[in-house]
Amino acid sequence: MKPGFRILPHTSEMGLELKAPDWASFYRCAAEGLLAVYGARLEGRGRARLSWSFRGGSPEDVLVAWLNELVFLVGTKRFRLSGLEVLQAAPDGLRVRILGERRRRLPLEREIKAATYHGLKVRALRSGLTARLILDV
Amino acid sequence: MSRFRRIDDYRWELPRAGAMRVPGLVYATERMLPKFEAEKVAEQVANVAALPGIVRYSLAMPDAHWGYGMPVGGVAATSAEDGVISPGAVGYDISCGVRLLRSDLKAAEVKAVLPKLMDTLFKTVPSGVGSEGPFRLSQPELRKVFAQGARWAVAKGYGERADLEAVEDGGALAEADPERPSPRAVERGQNQLGTLGSGNHFLELQEVVEVYEPGTAAVFGLFPGQLTVLIHTGSRGCGYQICDDFLRSMQSAARKYNISLPDRQLCCAPFASPEGRAYLGAMGAAANFARANRQAITHLTRQAFLRAVGRDLGLRVVYDVAHNLCQVEEHEVAGRMRRLCVHRKGATRAFPAGRPELPEAYRAVGQPVLVPGSMGTASYVLVGTETAMQETWGTTAHGAGRMMSRHQALKQIQGQALFNQLKRLGIEVRTDSFRGLAEEAPFAYKDVSEVVAACHGAGISRKVARMRPIGVVKG
C-alpha cells in the first residue's frame, strides 16, 4: 500500500482518508493531510526541534491526540512545520521530533478546531493501515 | 424506505431501534426530509438516543445537518439525577452564539457612509484565521473572564450595564469554574478576546425589512427599516481546547462507568460524577469567554460606528444567545418538575413568556430567538413559545444549516465573483479571504426562510421580524 491521504467532503466539516503501509508512515500521512486542510505542507528549513510523545489507548486515541497536537502547534503557536522524524510508532503510541519554526504570521486557508472521534476506526489490513476521520473546521 | 414515521406536517418520529433508549423526533417539512435521510442525520439522532439518562426524545431541529457525534441542530436532555453530560453533544465551539444590536437609525440613513463604515468595522473588529484581539490578557485576568463573562468586559468599560440585562444569565453562567480550563486552553484564549474568527462567523449590518408581530417587535425595540448589527462568534481557541481536553478524559470516564456508545465522539460521564462536574465547570468557563468575546466585539463595533459616522447611534443589545451549550434547566416531565441537562448543539433556547430566566423586559412576551441566515439572504428574530417548552425543552433552530460541502461550494463559485454578486445585491462585504468567502456562499446553506417557516409551522417559535444584510464582515 502506497502511503497517502485524501481530503473528503463533508457537509459542515472536512474529512481525511489515510492509508499507509506501516504505523510510522500512517502518522506521517495524517500530519500531511492535516497540513493540506490548512493549505500548507512540510516545507522550508526550521531551526526549532520539538519532541512529542503519546502512550496508551487505542490507535484512534493516538491519531486524535497527534492531530490535535499539530492543530495547537500550527493554529495557536503559528509553528511552520518543515519536517517530521518519527522515532517510534505503534498502535498504542507515538514518539516524534517536529522540525520547523514559529512565525509571526502564518497564512492558513482555514481554521481547524480539532480532529474528532466521529466514526473513526483505524483498520489494520494485510496490505497496511487505513482510516477516515472528521476534522471540525 | 424512510425510517421516519410521520406525526404531522412538521414532526417525524424515528422509532426506537438497536441501542436507542428513546425515539428520535425530527422537526422538518416533507420536502426537507430526504436530505435528513441522505445525510447521516437519522443515524446521528439514533446515536444520541443511546445516551444514558436521555429523557423523552433525541431531537433534531429543521436546520439539522450532518455533524460529528450529535448532528448540528440536535438537542438532548438528560436527567441531572441519573443521566450523563457529554462534551461531544455541545461541540468544540462552546457557547458559539449570536448577539443582535439595534440602533436608533434607519438603514437608509447610513447608505451614503456604508463603504466607509464597513472599512472601519473591518479594521476595528479582528477577523479571519488566527486573528488576535486588542485585549491581550494575563492568565489571572483570563481566569476572571472565565468566571465573570460579559460582566468582566462591562466592568472594564467595554460596554454598558444595560447590555448585561439582555445577555443570557446576565452575562455569566453560574456553573463556570475558572480554574478548570487547562493551561493550554488559557494560552489559546489569551489573545483571542474580541475576535470573530473564521468559517461561518461574521458581523453583519442589517435592515429590518419585515415585521410579523408588531407588538413583540416593539418590546424587542425593533421597527421596519431599522439598522441592526448581528454578531456571530463563540469561545474561539479556548473553547476548542476545553472540548478536546474533556473528550480525552471522558473516554476513560466512559470506560470507568461502563458506558457503551455507538460513537466515541459522544463519550460522556454521569452528570453527578467528578468528571461530569469538572466538564460542567470548564464548559461554563468557555461559555463565559464567549459572552465576554461578543461583549468586547460590541464595544469595538460601537467604536467603529462612532469613528465612521461621527456620533453615537444608540446601539443597544437586543439579546445574546448561545446555540452550542449544555444548560441545567427545570422542565416538566410526566407531570413533575425535573432538573435536566439540556444539550443544544446548533440549536437555540426559545423560552416562552413567564420564564424566570428571561430578562424582565421580555418576560411578558418570551425570549428573542436569533436565527442568522446565509450572508446573501435574510436573518430572523423569532420568539420562544409554550409549545417549544412542552416539546423541545424550549428549543428551536439556530440558523439556515449547511447543505453543501465547502469543496462543492468552491467548485461552484470563486470568491471574487461572489463578492461582486453580493455587491450588486447591495451587500458590502469585507473579508481577508476570498476562498473563505466562497466556502460560505449563500447557496451552500438551506433556505433560512424554509427553516423558519418549519419552526413557525410546528409552533416551536414564532416569526417576529426579518432582516436583510447590507454589510458583512466575514471571518
Q: What is the pLDDT of residues B33-81, one digit of tens each?
A: 998 888 889 999 999 999 999 999 999 999 999 888 999 999 999 999 9
Which CATH number describes the domain made up of A4-136? 3.55.10.10
Residue A111 DSSP SS3: coil
Count of H helices and E strands in chain B? 15, 19
> Measuring CA to CA, how many Å separate B161 from each of B153, B154, B167, B321, B356?
10, 6, 11, 17, 20
- Tell me the chain B residues in contact with residue A72 when contact means C-beta distances shorter than 8 Å: 184, 188, 241
**Structural domain that includes position B350:** 5-403+445-474
| Catalytic residue set of B | 398
Establish whether this prediction's ipTM goes over 0.90: yes
Contact A57 B251 (CB under 8 A): yes
**Sequence spans of domains, chain A:** 4-136
Integer Cα distance of B13 and B57 in angstroms = 9
Q: Please tell me if residue A56 touches chain B, with a CB cutoff of 8 Å.
A: no
DSSP B405: -
The neighbour count for residue B161, using CB atoms within 10 Å, is 10
Residue B10 reports pLDDT greater than 70: yes
Work out how many domains chain B is built from and give that number: 1
Residue B466: inside a domain: yes
Which chain B residue is nearest to residue A38, measuring alpha carbons?
B129
> Measuring CA to CA, how many Å separate B18 from each of B22, B56, B75, B207?
10, 16, 20, 49
Residue B256, C-beta contacts closer than 8 angstroms, at least 6 positions apart: B269, B275
Contact A117 B406 (CB under 8 A): no
**Mean pLDDT, rounded, for A21-31:** 97
Residue B440: inside a domain: no
Model confidence at B1, pLDDT cuts 50, 70, 90, reads: low
- Answer yes or no: are the C-beta atoms of A42 and A74 closer than 8 Å: no
Residue B419: inside a domain: no
Residue A86 reports pLDDT greater than 80: yes
Quick: pLDDT tens for A99-118: 999 998 899 999 999 999 99
Residue B437: inside a domain: no
Which chain B residue is nearest to residue A135, measuring alpha carbons?
B68
- Tell me the chain A residues in contact with residue B72 when contact means C-beta distances shorter than 8 Å: 12
Nearest to B18 by CA among B319, B191, B261: B261
**Mean pLDDT, rounded, for B446-457:** 96
**Mean pLDDT, rounded, for B132-148:** 95
CATH number for the domain spanning B210: value is 3.90.1860.10
> Measuring CA to CA, how many Å separate B311 from each of B9, B265, B306, B314?
49, 49, 5, 9
- Tell me the chain B residues in contact with residue A13 when contact means C-beta distances shorter than 8 Å: 67-68
Indicate the residue type of B182: S
For chain B, give the mean pLDDT: 96
CA of A47, closest CA in chain B: separation in Å?
23
CA of B244, closest CA in chain A: separation in Å?
7
DSSP A75: I
Region at B39 (left for phi over 0; alpha for psi -120 to 50; beta for the rest) = beta
> Measuring CA to CA, how many Å separate B378 from each of B64, B164, B208, B210, B448?
18, 26, 10, 11, 7
